[in-house]
Structure 1
Amino acid sequence: MEQPTLITNPINAENKDLTFSILLRLYCREFTNWSPYMGLPKYDQVVKHALENSGSDLHLRIDFNTEEIEVYVPVVYYSATGNHLFKPKLIQRNRRNDEVKELDLSSFFELAFKEGTKNYPEWQSIDIESGVKQAIAALEQIAQEYIMKEVYFSDLLLDHLPSSITSYLQKHLENFDISENVQSQLEDLFVIVGILGQKELMEEHLSLNFIYDQFSQKGEEFKAILDQRKSKIKGTFFSHFTAYDRQVQNMLHYAFFSPDLLLPQIKREVFSKYFKQEKVQISFRPFDLDRDLEMVCEWFHKDHAKTIWKMDWPIAELELFYRTLLPGRFSHSYIGEINGEAIFNFEIYWATNDVLGDYYEVLPSDYGTHLFIATTDKTKKFPALITRSIVEWMFSQPQVNRMVGEGSVESLAALMNKVHVGFKLQHIIEMPHKKAYLNFCIREWYLEKFPESKELINTNF
């Protein structure tokens, strides 16, 4: 992937590209109708032809459902803290007629505003047509302020090298004043984290882990910063027309991000265990689009899958789901094998970034799974052994402290299977798509059931 360079001069062609990137960053920070999109699709030829000459393997996909339009932007650098870098190109696909064209910023702004009326119905009365150019000019001015900030921190970094990166971070943390504008200071730290990531000097989740640990040592006054799941910010992207507030996730919770679970860089087997008494070998590996898409599409169209899994979509829609799921950082899909035969699919999700986190006091170290067993042959299913394998693998990760679930009240067999391996049912929660039992499992509860598994589980959380 194309590599960015450090910014040293705010007035050059590079910074015109950076202005474009910052405008999109502002939008992505405030709204959630977007996702990373990996590769070129096999079952959507319109999108394939639209993207094949973009020069990027990764794109940002922005979904404007109100107008049945999707917009793709080539990604140069994808950032955990939102400090993405893009090529200055907006590719629009109209789903009504499959027309593809390049989009200018004014048209993008108008699309985005219309989409925003779903969250803010009162915006429907605002006439933006005559003010779009002024709004974009105002955003570009804001972008220049961001550029100057990045120039400043980049220059400091150049002056600091070749000293250690952690000492560079430590220097900025020493000046953090809890009595001042905390959100503004955090945003400055995230800019620094983004620069370190762009230059491949330190992965962003590691920088955020370092910051989290340093704040943890500063005492009780920093607890609120570390514990809050979301914070309220003043909206910027549409501020030329109206005042509004948005909620953003706490980036410091990336201290509990598990790259092995959520962003694996390998396609081979990641876990294998032989259960001697049952003579069963269970293993699993990250989902591979080229290898697994057609297989799971067939699985999901089985009768029992339609009612439980509810992903019996056309294969093009299923491909879109995985091309946006796999490069993300909040969930990932795996294929499980029993005695060498592909039998089950499960998804891991990071609960604080999942809808489930809205229904209980979620912790950043909470992780959950959704499990689908494709076979109906009872001699091949082994649900308890599958669940044990998943639990043991997840508890081998230091970032996972508690496993959570939201099993449907109608799926008693699945709930009892989880209870069998150490999960404890909590209370019923009413979710938009189902009524479910919230359930938890911690290492101690699992090891009470299976003490022989202690050597496989990381107990140093």
Structure 2
Amino acid sequence: MTTTEPVHVQTVEGFGTVTIDRVDPDRDAALLHGWVNEDRARFWGMGGTTVEQVRDVYAHLDSLTTHHGYLARRNGEPVALFQTYDPEADRVGECYDVLPGDIGVHLLVAPTAAPEPGFSGGLLTALIDFALTGRARVVAEPDAANEKAIARLVRAGFELGPEVVLPEVDLPEVFIPEKKARLAFLSR
């Protein structure tokens, strides 16, 4: 097992300590496979993948300088998959005027046996602080049909932008189908 120094550690009052590490495709593929294949993760777009396919996706992501995958832990327990990316190097950059200092994000919260009031708010506090390090604005683009994610972003202070159609990406390394998304922005 590979171990690396966390890229961010933050104690959130009333929530716990959030540690953010780069995804290690070999170490984390089985865990992430379980998460992305649940019905609740249908908007993540990786349902039906194998452990090897998940490993390959995150190995490809790890090879990029513009896109990064992170595993967030709360008090040592894995609780979320968090991805950041440069919007100018992503399909979302074709859908809005990218500003200097923008950073795009994707978040998949791990499944849990019982919902915990305040959990996503506490987690988002640390993830947003991390994303805004050296940046001016966070851009999210959840699926337009993902009402829960959109409502959560609004509660976290994001301003909703327009609905857009993210174009299909069809490259030898990756295929991502066209997606109707709702843009959301949070400035420092």
Same fold (TM over 0.5): yes
Contact residue 21 and residue 71 of structure 2 kept, 8 A: yes
* Offset, 1:336: 0.7
Percentage identity across paired residues of the two chains: 27
Q: Which amino acid aligns with 1:321?
A: V
Q: Distance in 1 between matches of 2:59 and 2:78?
A: 21
Could you tell me which residue of structure 2 aligns to residue 409 of structure 1?
144
Within a 5 Å distance, the mapping from 1:331-350 to structure 2 comes to 331-350=67-86
* Offset, 1:296: 0.8
Which segment drifts farther, 337-346 or 377-386? 377-386
Contact residue 366 and residue 401 of structure 1 kept, 8 A: yes
Could you tell me which residue of structure 2 aligns to residue 438 of structure 1?
183
Structure 2 residues not aligned, in runs of 5+: 168-177
Structure 1 residues not aligned, in runs of 5+: 1-265, 444-461
The match for 2:44 among 290, 300, 309 is: 309
Q: Which amino acid aligns with 1:311?
A: M
Call closer, same or farther: CA 1:337–1:320 in 2, change over 3 Å.
same
* Offset, 1:322: 1.8
**Alignment partner of 2:116: what SS?**
helix
Within a 5 Å distance, the mapping from 1:77-116 to structure 2 comes to none
Call closer, same or farther: CA 1:279–1:367 in 2, change over 3 Å.
closer
Which has the higher Rg, Structure 1 or Structure 2? Answer: 1
Contact residue 267 and residue 288 of structure 1 kept, 8 A: no
Q: Distance in 2 between matches of 1:380 and 1:327?
A: 37
**Alignment partner of 2:71: what SS?**
strand
Within a 5 Å distance, the mapping from 1:351-430 to structure 2 comes to 351-376=87-112, 377-379=114-116, 382-397=119-134, 400-430=135-165
Answering whether residue 39 of structure 2 is matched by residue 285 of structure 1, we say no
Call closer, same or farther: CA 1:421–1:381 in 2, change over 3 Å.
closer
Q: Which amino acid aligns with 2:145?
A: E
Q: Distance in 1 between matches of 2:15 and 2:129?
A: 18
**Alignment partner of 1:403: what SS?**
strand
Q: Distance in 2 between matches of 1:275 and 1:401?
A: 21
Contact residue 269 and residue 286 of structure 1 kept, 8 A: yes
RMSD: 2.0
Q: Judging by fraction of residues, say which structure has more strand.
A: 2
Call closer, same or farther: CA 1:279–1:394 in 2, change over 3 Å.
closer
CA deviation map 1:409-452 (0-9, x unaligned) = 22222122222222111222123433222111111xxxxxxxxx
**Alignment partner of 1:326: what SS?**
helix
* Offset, 1:374: 1.5
Contact residue 352 and residue 363 of structure 1 kept, 8 A: no
Q: Distance in 2 between matches of 1:391 and 1:279?
A: 15
Q: Distance in 1 between matches of 2:53 and 2:33?
A: 10
Within a 5 Å distance, the mapping from 1:199-218 to structure 2 comes to none
Contact residue 349 and residue 368 of structure 1 kept, 8 A: yes
Q: Judging by fraction of residues, say which structure has more helix.
A: 1
Q: Which amino acid aligns with 1:329?
A: T
* Offset, 1:404: 0.9
